[in-house]
């Protein structure tokens, strides 16, 4: 029986990072993965979608090339080569997953490909082999939640209904797409396929998209989606799915929407399979963990989607490091107060900290500053002037409570705001930091000036 200090179950962005950190700290470590190293994020989620979104952006630039002074006489000769887009996606994924494999090898982590079953709190069975571990880190991730809609199982079997993984692997760009759910994944796919010429309808049960996002950003994104020709149907109660047709009720009125593909994007559920022998404290949606990532069993930790805190790759990686450090004797804790969130739509959205509404609910005396991308030189030069930044600050000292950006490169610019909040910085600090010109990041400085006094270029 092979013996290890730490066994990690799951090789996604939480699991492989935990294994590498554990090995770096001197632990004899094994990583067990049943499918592909890199998990959902690298293979079927974050990276593939962003790669295809870039291809869609290039197509968008070409079809609007006259804006940049580049004339194409016959745009009818410009075609989407979906097969080549998919090939590029696979090359990017392959390079990254190969890099993960190499990192694990160079850090001395043993990797076993196979499905793990936990036999006890110190034993794991995989491929008929029994592994003994002093500590176990559970990083089994999550799977798409399939809602109990009449006819959905049959429609998935015949290929009309797909989850996010299935939509990434379609043979052709569908002519029509219905997206069930207006969360982050649903909106990203709506933007991707609408840009590629697909007619997209989004069905949302509530009366808003992207429910946890700041109101101003959310309404701006909604307007952008509508301008792209994406139909958003609020208050949609889905009655059934029959083949390629979705039957809904909206305000008491029955409607039918037919589409070549129907994407189910209504959330995710944790993967508990293989953990049945452990009497872990858990809810229907998560294994319960403390700030050290410990579960109710002292030597077992849970990170990533399976603990239900934040279903984000970067959070899983941070949790993996904390779990490994705690096992190896460090008093390491994680804070979920300032987690950045990114949406890779057109335009991008990035946010960190409190929304205006949340800040008011917490009793802060709030001051708001907004600065538009249309007043930024670099944004105008690049033809990407839609969107804005919104800073939520405390009135008295200018402490940054939250930053919300919608616009090109928003997901890259949010890190400056994150660092400022993490260091308990103020709008005065951001305003005095001399930003390079011309850059998109100047909007951060300008909005900070708006908190201190008034923006310069507005």
Whichever domain contains 209, its CATH number is 3.50.50.60
The residues, ordered by sequence, that sit 6+ positions from 151 with a Cβ below 8 Å of its Cβ are 240, 241, 242, 243
282 among annotated binding-site residues: no
Pairing between β-strand 253-258 and β-strand 110-113 as defined by DSSP bridges: unpaired
The verdict on residue 6 lying in a domain is yes
Same domain for 166 and 179, yes or no, is yes
pLDDT digits (tens, 9 = 90+) for 426-438: 999 999 999 999 9
Asked whether residue 342 is assigned to any structural domain, the reply reads: no
In angstroms, rounded to a whole number, what is the distance separating the alpha carbons of residues 296 and 290?
A: 9
Q: Note the pLDDT tens digit of each residue in 21-67.
A: 999 999 999 999 999 999 999 999 999 999 999 999 999 999 999 99
Residues of the domain holding 182 = 152-266
Q: Does one domain contain both 45 and 89?
A: yes
Please give the pLDDT value at position 135. 98
Q: 129 and 168: one domain?
A: no
Residues 6 and 138 in one domain: yes
Out of 266, 293, 308, a domain closes at 266
- Smallest CA-to-CA distance from 193 within 82, 325, 351 is with 82
Per the structure, the count of domains in the chain is: 3
User: What is the pTM assigned to this prediction?
Assistant: 0.95
Check if the beta carbon of residue 115 is closer than 8 Å to that of residue 274. Answer: yes
* 8, β-bridge pairs: 31, 137
**Residue 26 marked ligand-binding:** no
Last residue of a domain, one of 266, 282, 298: 266
Question: Is residue 89 domain-shared with residue 135, that is, in the same domain?
Answer: yes
pLDDT digits (tens, 9 = 90+) for 387-418: 999 999 999 999 999 999 999 999 999 999 99
Summarize pLDDT for 286-306 with one digit per residue, the tens.
999 999 999 999 999 999 999
For residues 262 and 203, what is the distance between their CA atoms, to the nearest angstrom?
Answer: 10
Separation between Cα atoms, residue 96 and residue 45, nearest integer Å: 13
pLDDT (mean) for 147-164: 96
**Same domain membership, residue 289 and residue 173:** no
Residue 384 has pLDDT above 90, yes or no: yes
Query: pLDDT band for position 344 (50/70/90)?
Result: very high
Task: Mark 296-317 as b/e (b = at least 16 C-beta within 10 Å).
Answer: eeeebbbbbbbbbbbbbbbbbb
- Percentage of the chain with pLDDT > 90? 98
140 annotated as belonging to a binding site for a ligand: yes
CATH, residue 393: 3.30.390.30
pLDDT at 67: 95
pLDDT at 276 over 80: yes
Instruction: State percent of the chain over pLDDT 70.
Output: 100
**Binding residue per annotation — 152?**
no
User: In a 3-state reduction of DSSP, which class is residue 200?
Assistant: strand
Boundary (domain end) residue, out of 246, 266, 286: 266
Q: Are residues 139 and 273 located together in one domain of the fold?
A: yes
Domain shared by 97 and 230, yes or no: no
Q: Are 261 and 287 found together in one domain?
A: no
Asked if the structure places residue 332 within a domain, the reply is: no
- CA pair distance 73, 91, nearest whole angstrom: 32
Q: Assess whether 259 and 281 both reside in one domain.
A: no
Which whole number is the average pLDDT over 69-93?
A: 96
> Does residue 21 sit within a domain?
yes
| Dihedral pair phi/psi, residue 89, rounded to 5° | -55, -45
Average pLDDT, the chain: 96
How many CA atoms are closer than 13 Å to the CA of 404, on its beta-carbon side?
A: 25
**307 and 411 both lie in a single domain:** no
pLDDT at 284 over 90: no
Q: Would you please indicate which residues are annotated as catalytic (active-site) residues?
A: 437
- Per DSSP, helices labelled H in 306-426 are 313-327, 356-361, 377-382, 410-422
Q: Tell me whether residue 184 is annotated as binding.
A: yes
How far apart (Å, rounded) are the C-alpha atoms in residues 42 and 63?
30
Confirm whether 199 is domain-assigned.
yes
Q: With 90 as the cut, is the pLDDT of residue 1 above it?
A: no
State whether 186 and 219 are in the same domain. yes
């Amino acid at each position: 029986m092979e013996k290890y200090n730490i066994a990690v179950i799951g090789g996604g962005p939480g699991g492989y990072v935990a294994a590498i950190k554990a090995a770096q700290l001197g632990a004899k470590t094994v990583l067990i993965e049943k499918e592909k190293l890199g998990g959902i994020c690298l293979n079927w989620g974050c990276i593939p979608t962003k790669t295809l979104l870039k291809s869609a952006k290039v197509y968008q630039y070409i079809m609007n090339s006259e804006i940049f002074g580049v004339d194409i006489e016959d745009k009818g000769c410009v075609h989407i080569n979906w097969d080549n887009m998919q090939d590029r996606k696979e090359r990017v994924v392959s390079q990254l997953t190969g890099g993960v494999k190499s990192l694990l090898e160079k850090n001395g982590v043993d990797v076993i490909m196979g499905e793990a079953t936990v036999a006890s709190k110190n034993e794991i069975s995989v491929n008929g082999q029994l592994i003994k571990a002093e500590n176990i880190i559970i990083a089994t991730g999550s799977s798409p939640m399939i809602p109990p809609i009449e006819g959905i199982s049959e429609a998935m079997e015949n290929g009309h209904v797909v989850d996010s993984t299935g939509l990434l692997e379609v043979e052709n760009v569908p002519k029509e797409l219905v997206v069930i759910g207006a969360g982050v994944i649903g909106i990203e796919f709506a933007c991707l396929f609408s840009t590629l010429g697909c007619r997209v309808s989004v069905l949302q049960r509530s009366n808003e998209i992207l429910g946890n996002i700041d109101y101003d950003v959310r309404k701006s994104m909604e307007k952008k989606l509508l301008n792209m020709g994406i139909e958003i149907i609020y208050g949609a109660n889905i009655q059934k799915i029959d083949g390629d047709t979705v039957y809904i009720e909206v305000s008491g009125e029955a409607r039918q929407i037919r589409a070549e593909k129907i994407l189910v994007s209504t959330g995710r559920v944790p993967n508990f399979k293989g953990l049945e022998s452990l009497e872990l404290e858990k809810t229907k949606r998560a294994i319960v963990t403390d700030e050290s990532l410990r579960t109710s069993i002292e030597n077992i930790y849970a990170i990533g989607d399976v603990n239900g805190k934040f279903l984000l790759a970067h959070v899983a990686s941070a949790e993996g490091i904390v779990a490994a450090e705690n096992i190896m004797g460090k008093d390491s804790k994680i804070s979920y107060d300032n987690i950045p969130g990114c949406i890779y739509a057109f335009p991008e959205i990035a946010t960190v900290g409190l929304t205006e509404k949340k800040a008011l609910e917490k009793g802060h005396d709030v001051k708001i500053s907004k600065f538009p991308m249309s007043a930024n030189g670099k944004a105008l030069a690049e033809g990407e002037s839609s969107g804005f930044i919104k800073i939520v600050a405390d009135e008295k000292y200018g402490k940054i409570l939250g930053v919300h950006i919608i616009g090109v490169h928003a997901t890259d610019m949010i890190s400056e705001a994150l660092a400022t909040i993490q260091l308990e910085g103020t709008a005065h600090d951001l305003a005095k930091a001399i930003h390079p010109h011309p850059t998109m990041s100047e909007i951060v400085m300008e909005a900070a000036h708006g908190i201190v006094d008034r923006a310069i270029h507005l």
